[in-house]
Structure 1
Amino acid sequence: MAETYDFEGLNDPFSSKRSNLADDTVFYSIYSDFSLSSSSSAISDHLQALHLEILNNISPLTSDYIWQHEPFSLSLSSSNHIPHLHGKVKYGDNLDDEWFVVFLLFHLSLSFPSISIRVWDSDGEFLLIEAAFHLPRWLNPENSTNRIFIRKNEVHIVPKKQFSSTPPLKDALMLLINRPEVTRGSDSIQSMIKGRISEYPERARRNVHAVRVRVPVSVAQVLRHEPCLISLAVVGFYDRDIDTMKDAANMEKFLPKGREEELVLVSVKMSRAMYAQLLQQKFQAPKCYPMPPIPPRTDQTTYMEAELGMKIACGFEMMYQHRKREGEEGKGSTWEAFKESLERSGYFQGLLPGSKEYKRLMEKAEEYYRKSTLHCRASEMLSTPVRRIDEILASPHSLDDFESQEVPLSDDDSWLYGGEEELQSVLEERQKEMEIYEQRQKRKQKGKDKINDDDSSNLNKNDFDLGDIAKSMKSFVQKVSSYQGAEVPEDRDLTDVDFDVDRFMKELESVTRPGGEDDGSDVDAEEGSSSDMDFDESEGESDMEEPELSDDKQEKFMNTYTEVLNEELRSTTLRKSFVRAKDQSLNKDEGINAEEKDMDEDFTPVDVDVNLVKSLLDSFSSQQGLPGPASNLLGLMGKQLPQDDVGKGKGKDRDK
């Protein structure tokens, strides 16, 4: 039977238990509709029957498959929540194991329409990664708990509108049962995820690699009876440490005769990942190991077969001795362990051994154990390897048992050196998927922009008034603008400014006050002025020592200063760059001479609104349709200028 595993808390992708999960393990839970509405005793019987049916269903698909670490298995839940079946598979470096599990789960959901399945790993709902460009925008790892299921060979997502927060598991399952049309994922999501497993089970068959190796007779005997143990041997070799290396140096279990042991040629099936791990690792053969001479004294192929077999034999020795030291096999047979688990879970309901009801439950448990172990043999072998290896090697075996057998040739391993093309193909597929997603987003944006352009175009053609620009600018400056800056749309990412307004105004008054006097009543003299208000002392002393002017003298000075300034500007073209307010009385009076007219024009006020609009239009025109300060500023005010020719026309009309 599969080991019992604590799955509590693993539904939460950010729980403390999930953070401690191995990065190379996939977990899954199977919920039956029957478990949501029946009594506990009936549920237990139902789940046991479902367990056996599931194992029988997938047996043809998994019988010849070599798992990297452990096979697909199921066990009954021992939690106090919804009774269900659950399991886990450690896939290690062989990612194909994880996706083969996903294929099996989809296959089961099609074969058993009344079950709902969850699958996840340490990354959370990893199925969604395959459909990342097609998910609802609201869905993310934080809110995906109890939302993603497999049912009837389709992916289901519990929508946010049904449960704004994390949905209770039972409520989510009931929604899948009663309203599957609401939870079914989009066609694009179905297509992407099913495309990932579309090559299975054929891909699973291709993942098994058969290779000829030369190994000691003891190793050949173990592989003949339990070929699935090759995974433990490869793991033992690949994850070796100093202690297990000492075991390989002696080879007490699998090389009792030392260098006198003869090697036999056998064919071993393993996953492609295992083959790569063995082939790429450099390992010096133990002194006691009967390795053939190095080429050219021997055939290159023969030496490579013996070298690969040596790594397998050393892996068996390391694994066997390591597990034997840990004492994992001193707990009794798997039946005893299974019976103890039943007692701990309260299966016998406190009944006295020997009573009629106790015997009935015991017979039922024995029948269940016999049926389930027929389909969990690989799991049993991997969980109790020491005892099983001892049993195999205790039976009679000799060199003659293997010398007469015909060994097929090794499978082609060109895939080991041609992975770049496959990787490039996958990258190109992902790149194409990303480009399609970006194009789709651009089309959506263009559609929105077109609607906005049509609305603004109609507004510009019919109701556009340049006077609104001046009004908007005044509102922008007087109401929207403040010491914190100009307000912008709410979706902008803003950072609050740490600004002492009172101190700023006092610093400003101390600098701008006539005579530069500063009573310093509210400002600490030790702090000094703000760094932005620092001036050179030699330059500031003369200004601060100047006497303060009286009001009459100050007014006379300003008038004189204005006259001199106007006189200097009269000889330039600067005044012609501003549009002044038209005084109709001066236009009608033709008797005024030119000198008086120029003098009056000097006192004619500048039309601020007209100059503002004219400057904005000129700036917008110079942008030539590109982004610039004028369009950005008007955009913040919620205004959009018409086409350049329309704008110029309006501006000319306004100037007139």
Structure 2
Amino acid sequence: MDTASELRPGDEGFDGFRMSLPEDCVEYMLFIIGDKTDTSLPSLEAVRKAADKKLDELAKDYIWQREPFRLETKIQKGSGLSYLHGTTHYGDNVEDEWLIVYLLRELSKSFPNLWIRVSDSDGEFLLIEAAKVLPKWLSPENDGNRVWINQGKLMIIPLEQNAPDAAKSKPLSLTSAISAIKLASSSLLHSPFIEAEAFYRLEKYPGQITASIHYSRVTIPRKLAYILHARPKAISPATEAFYLRDPVSLKPLLPPTGDDLVFPPKDLVTISVCFTKVLYAQLKSQHFPPPAVWRPIFQKVEQETFSAGADFKELFNKLSRLEIGMKLTTGFEILARGADTSPNRVTREVGLLLQDLEEDGEEGVLPTDEEIKKWEDVDREDDDSWMDIDYAEFEMELDGNREKKKSAKFGDATAQADLQKIVERFEAFLNDTGAGVDGADVDEMDEDDDDEEDDSDDEYDDEDKEVSFDEEQFARMMKEMMGLPSGGDEKEKGKAAVEEDSDEEEEDDKEVEEVQKLMAQFESELRGHGALNLDSNPAKDTGKIQEKGEPSTQKSRATEEEKDSDDEAVDIDYNLAKNLLESFKGQAGMAGPAGNLLGLMGMQLPRDEEDSDDEKP
């Protein structure tokens, strides 16, 4: 029997999968569940071949961010369960994960006895997508191994009615989940509401596969153009190598000659390269000053363009293609120096191609200009306006303004749809009148609740009103914290306080009146001696007061209150203001507490852009 430290995902008794799975990694298991005597059951090998065929049909040339989709047969130790297993590290491109979910869901429609479970480093991420419509009994503590995909549907293994409470609060083991499916597959929960939310991101497939591709023309060495044409999927590890570069990996680019470079910047050609949108954004958004060996190339392009009488737009396009090509060449330069020992198969293939060029020579192997013109999509260049984000439109999306939203074009249509979905879910969450201390409740799913839970819900019925936020009150509180005049009605505040404590103050009214009389007498004596006459013309003011018939004490108090309010207007807590501004600057243009608080008070501060000199390559 293996110890807990020796168990692996899929082994019987393994309970620590979420802790061991790396970040940005998805795991999938495929089981054939049915009577073993049934000759119509497909074999695991048949399912694996069908999965490969389905992948070729849907995404044959798809560029994976880090690792591709792959399946291999595994046998669970102890129980002897055999199944297909795979893990994929998707990195920054979460679309890889959803493409795998879409592929597996489509595959399950072809095999009625195929049961699939998918999870990632966050656990049952399909349930996270459908968190608002989940039944109360399903929680992150007990959802392990309960979510399955069968015949294109999302199935959930319910709690055992006769199981002890301790067992209900723990996740199922893999063997227990398989047994539950075998014994009572008809009793599994299938909710259209949960399924619609969990598979919401799959609605854009298979069109999203081609929509995620971006072609861009780049200027690169001819040698690199040959490598990319032979292994177009190498664009992914090369871009990642540039994106995760460090000073050590950039040392070969420091010499101005470039004699030791694998891809020296000479014999440059302009071709169209196929990226994913994530890879293109990673490459273009990086600030990377040209190394010494590339600087003469940029100067030469500028001189030739101006001497030819070209306009600024043409110069900008040439420099932009050269800049992207320089970054891409740098990524391949870093990649080539560790290609032989890389665990990535495509990277090792790049190393083999470079070895063949070194042994056979580049002459006669590298493509000519005429051959390059015959390549497919060699002149294709897609519009990259999907990278442009109007922050005014972004704020409008967050505010949920439906009227303005119709005419707004917020970057990528997919990003806009996802953001609208997030805002809608957040608004629905805030306006959920049935939510309690444990989160949102769904009445139609609460068939298993006991009487005690129902009683507790009744106690919150009167308290769970629609969630609202008093912006004026919050702004007034924040201004008072900053030393600014709150603008509130002091008389109303005093009246409210008196009404609230009226019962307790009735006994002290007499004492208060006596104190007020003593204070009035004391004040009149001081004023009679001129100790309180601070105005330049006290006689004139006193005459006015006497004409109106108002006591001098009330007027003096009003004057003092006005002066106090004037002093409060300029008495600003500079430390608090400084801290707020520093916090806003620390957000680096992103959302944060300081920006949110200032926005609620109607203050829109400009975004603090860092100087380009401060950015590191």
Partner of 1:52: 49
Stretches of structure 2 lacking an aligned partner (at least 5 in a row): 1-5, 306-314, 395-409, 444-454, 460-617
TM normalised by structure 1 equals 0.53
Give the whole-Å Cα distance in 2 for the aligned partners of 1:201 and 1:242: 41
1:89 corresponding residue in structure 2: 88
Query: How does 1:304-383 map onto structure 2 within 5 Å?
Result: 304-324=320-340, 327-328=341-342, 380-382=345-347
Structure 2 vs 1, CA of residues 391 and 55 (structure 1 numbering), >3 Å: closer, same or farther?
Answer: farther
1:228 counterpart = 2:227 = no
2:198 pairs, out of 193, 196, 200, with: 193
1: distance between equivalents of 2:7 and 2:28? 9
Q: The residue matched to 2:248 in structure 1 has which SS?
A: helix
Q: What's the CA shift string for 1:414-450, capped at 9, x where partnerless? A: 11114843656534423433444666644999999xx
Question: Which one of the candidate residues 243, 246, 250 is aligned to 2:248?
Answer: 243
How many percent identity over aligned positions? 30
Deviation readout 1:166-190 (Å, 9 max, x if unpaired) = 4343442344356444213311011
1:417 partnered with 2:372? no
Deviation at 1:22, TM superposition (A): 2.3
Change (3 A) 1:288 1:86: same
TM-score by length of 2: 0.56
Deviation at 1:97, TM superposition (A): 1.2
Q: Does the 8 Å contact 1:214/1:266 carry over to 2?
A: yes
Structure (1 or 2) with the greater helix fraction: 1
More divergent stretch after superposition (308-317 vs 75-84): 75-84
Deviations 1:385-432 (A, max 9, x none): 423543477661244355544732310111111484365653442343
- 1:296-311 mapped onto 2 (5 Å cutoff): 297=303, 298=305, 299-311=315-327
User: How far off its partner does 1:319 sit?
Assistant: 1.2
Alignment of 1:5-404 (within 5 A): 8-9=8-9, 16=16, 18-33=18-33, 37=36, 46-80=43-77, 81=79, 82-161=81-160, 164=168, 165-176=170-181, 179-249=184-254, 255=262, 258-259=264-265, 261-289=266-294, 291-293=297-299, 297=303, 298=305, 299-324=315-340, 327-328=341-342, 380-382=345-347, 384-391=349-356, 396-400=365-369, 402=371, 404=373
**Which moves more between the two structures, 69-78 or 230-239?**
69-78
Is 2:430 aligned against 1:433?
A: no
CA gap of 1:97–1:219, structure 2 versus 1, over 3 A, is: same
- Alpha carbons of 1:153 and 1:307: their partners in 2 closer, same or farther (altered >3 Å)? same
1:5-52 residue CA offsets vs partner (Å, 9 max, x unmatched): x99247999955532432211111111226x7479xx99993233322
For 2:442 and 2:42, locate their aligned partners in 1 and report how far apart those are by CA, in whole Å. Answer: 58
* C-alpha deviation, 1:384, in angstroms: 4.8
> Residues 219 and 254 of structure 1 are in contact (CA less than 8 Å); yes or no, is this contact kept in structure 2?
no
Change beyond 3 A, Cα 1:400–1:414: closer
Give 1:484's aligned residue: none
Q: Which residue of 1 aligns with 2:379?
A: 408
2:339·2:348 contact (CA, 8 Å) conserved in 1?
A: no
Contact 2:98-2:202 at 8 Å conserved across structures: yes
2: distance between equivalents of 1:388 and 1:84?
A: 36
Q: Which runs of 5+ in 1 are unaligned?
A: 1-5, 330-378, 449-487, 493-656
Please report how far the alpha carbon of residue 217 of structure 1 lies from its aligned counterpart in structure 2 after TM superposition: 1.0
Bigger Rg, which one: 1
Q: Whole-Å Cα distance in 2 between the matches of residues 98 and 394 of structure 1?
A: 40
Work out the CA distance in 1 between the residues paired with 2:370 and 2:359. Answer: 15
Contact 2:25 2:91 in 1 (8 A): yes
Give the letter aligned to residue 143 of structure 1: N
Q: Distance in 2 between matches of 1:153 and 1:281?
A: 41
Query: What is the identity, as a one-letter code, of the residue corresponding to 1:307?
Result: E
Letter in 2 for 1:120: S
Question: 2:47 is matched by which residue type in structure 1?
Answer: L
Residues 335-362 of structure 1: CA deviation (Å, up to 9, x unaligned): xxxxxxxxxxxxxxxxxxxxxxxxxxxx
The one-letter code of the counterpart of 2:73 is: L
Cα–Cα, structure 1 residues 231 and 84, in superposed 2: closer, same or farther, change >3 Å?
A: same
1:383 Cα deviation from its structure 2 partner: 5.9
Q: Secondary structure at the match of 1:143?
A: coil
CA RMSD of aligned residues (A): 3.9
Q: Deviations over 1:141-181 (max 9, x none)?
A: 11112211111101111001366354343442344356444
In 2, the alpha carbon distance for the partners of 1:31 and 1:221 equals 43
**Structure 1 range deviating more: 173-182 or 133-142:** 173-182
Distance in 2 (CA, whole Å) between partners of 1:403 and 1:70 is 29
Partner Cα distance (1:253, 1:52) in 2: 45
| Count, aligned residues | 393
In the alignment, the residues of structure 1 paired with residue 177 and residue 287 of structure 2 have an alpha-carbon distance, to the nearest angstrom, of 52
Q: Secondary structure at the match of 2:220?
A: strand
Residues 70 and 382 in structure 1, CA contact (< 8 A), matched pair in contact too: no
CA contact under 8 A between 1:293 and 1:303: conserved in structure 2? no
Cα 1:15–1:170 shift into 2, 3 Å = closer
Determine the C-alpha separation between the residues in 1 that align with 2:13 and 2:214: 35
Deviation at 1:119, TM superposition (A): 0.8
Post-superposition shift, 1:195? 2.1
Equivalent-residue separation in structure 2 for 1:33 and 1:447 (angstroms): 31
Deviation at 1:292, TM superposition (A): 3.2
- With over 3 angstroms needed to count, the CA separation of the structure-2 counterparts of 1:380 and 1:168, relative to structure 1, is same
